[in-house]
Amino acid sequence: MAIDGPPELIEGWNRLLVEPRRPRVIREQPNAHWLAVAAVCVGALMSQLDASIVTVALPTMQHSFHASVGSVTWVGLSYLLVLVATITAVGRFADMWGRKLIYVYGFLLFVIASALCGLAPDLAALCGFRVLQAVGAAMMQANSLAIILLVVPGRSLGKALGFQGAAQAIGLALGPTVGGLLLSAGGWRLIFFVNVPIGLIGVLAALCFVPRSQNLLTRTTFDWSGLSLFFPAIVALLCGISFGATSGWTSPIIIGLFAAAVVLGACFVRHERSTANPMMDPALVAQRRFSLGILSGMGAYAVLFGVLLVIPFYLERALHLGTARAGLELMALPLCFGIFSPLAGRLADRIGVRPLAITGMLLVAGGLVGLAAAPASTLWLLPLLGVVGAGLGLFVAPNNASVMGAAPPQQAGMASGILNMSRGAGTALGLAVTGLVFAVSGGGRTGAGASVAAGANHAFMVTALVLAGLAVLTALVAGVRSQGRLGDVRLASLE
């Protein structure tokens, strides 16, 4: 990218496009790659903390802005749509311009956008700043797994991705508690301001600990035509999934959204197969190990966020627990996820991915069947939620390692972007399907009567069994792919 102007301006611009080296004292450390992993984990924790905090704060925002529930949901939906629709393109761009470069600037953009969100004067401005925040998050997430893949030796890749998954789980677990404290201390604006100090720490850690990029693709013209087809296709698909339950799955607008997603998606696939420099390489997606890993990962995240959605309704409507107590009970799932994720990653380096992926999702299915069969009390809830969390921890890190290990080093950013995009799509799918099943099964009524409690209990049982079936299906998909072990990776000299 060249610009015209005075030599000083050109030189300053070029400096902004060059990745800084790590300090020599860091480069000379024999285990310096673990410092890079730690820097990436700061971003992973912050992104999940932010996502879960915002969800908790939506009722407060509705009251503060005097808005409808439908309007305030766009605070979360605008972020999700832009993140999922741009993250693959950002990964492709980073493969050409530098993963550390895009990661650091993404962190800075996320911090600036978070401060702007905290200062937003109205709901429209808040949603606009959330879009900016999502672009920053895409720049971070599209490179987090890629950085780990390229700095960590293959024999430790699963372990490193396990730590990254644990950081995400900790952020997810802390969100409701931290969000409640911040809302009580100073209102919803604090949940965005808290990202500023954490984000600045993350920027400094990335500058000091993450090495400069290696194995970059030749800088070519970016596939803007592909992005112009892909972006509206993903937005139409996610909007159809998100609003199908409320607008009616057979309503003209929902059918139109799905039809637009199919047509635009087909045009995108055709374009990618014919262009010389595709945004999403068809050869990478065609790899069985890669594509089945993406598909099974989507199923796992659909189950995870489905459980996170339905459990609070069950606790509050069937067991009459308060919001704070419900949040504490729910923490058992992400905490066990975080405990088992590094262990699973370490095992994947030794025994391979497939046994852990299958075992993990079957554990999830067993835990959900247990929740459906257990009496309506909290006695069995914590251990069974722990089983579900442990099963997801056994699955996610090895699956991520397998997907990233299937990608050539030059396409690490693209692979990381696709993997994170599938997580967002799985999240949206899990929330939509779970909400629909729970409502259709009798859980949609509000109040405190015995009939409401009985309806919520029945709806929870049905929903848990549906999610268990999805977990079994995910295990079958994980079992079909090749075993694959993570061998040693010869690393280039990293600076």
Which three-class secondary structure string do you get for the chain? CCCCCCHHHHHHHHHHCCCCCCCHHHHCCCCHHHHHHHHHHHHHHHHHHHHHHHHHHHHHHHHHHCCCHHHHCHHHHHHHHHHHHHHHHHHHHHHHHCHHHHHHHHHHHHHHHHHHHHCCCCHHHHHHHHHHHHHHHHHHHHHHHHHHHHHCCHHHHHHHHHHHHHHHHHHHHHHHHHHHHHHHHHCCCHHHHCHHHHHHHHHHHHHHHCCCCCCCCCCCCCCHHHHHHHHHHHHHHHHHHHHHHHHCCCCHHHHHHHHHHHHHHHHHHHHHHHCCCCCCCHHHHHCHHHHHHHHHHHHHHHHHHHHHHHHHHHHHHHCCCCHHHHHHHHCHHHHHHHHHHHHHHHHHHHHCCHHHHHHHHHHHHHHHHHHHHCCCCCCCHHHHHHHHHHHHHHHHHHHHHHHHHCCCHHHHHHHHHHHHHHHHHHHHHHHHHHHHHHHHHHHCCCCCCHHHHHHHHHHHHHHHHHHHHHHHHHHHHHHHCCCCCCCCCCCCCCC
Average pLDDT, the chain: 83
Grade residue 310 by pLDDT with cuts at 50, 70 and 90. confident
Mean pLDDT of all residues in 33-61: 84
Position 103 scores a pLDDT of: 92
pLDDT above 80: residue 15: no
Say what the pLDDT of residue 488 is: 40
Mean of pLDDT values over 369-382: 81
**pLDDT score of 123:** 92
Q: What is the pLDDT of residues 121-134, one digit of tens each?
A: 999 999 999 999 99
Quick one: pLDDT at residue 59?
A: 72
pTM passes above 0.85:
no
Lowest mean pLDDT among 211-215, 368-372, 418-422, 476-480: 211-215
Least reliable range by pLDDT among 11-20, 150-159, 185-194: 11-20
Q: Once rounded to an integer, what is the mean pLDDT over residues 30-53? A: 86
Name the band, by pLDDT with cuts 50, 70 and 90, for residue 491: very low
Query: Quick check: 485 pLDDT over 70?
Result: no
The answer, yes or no, to whether residue 492 has pLDDT greater than 50, is no
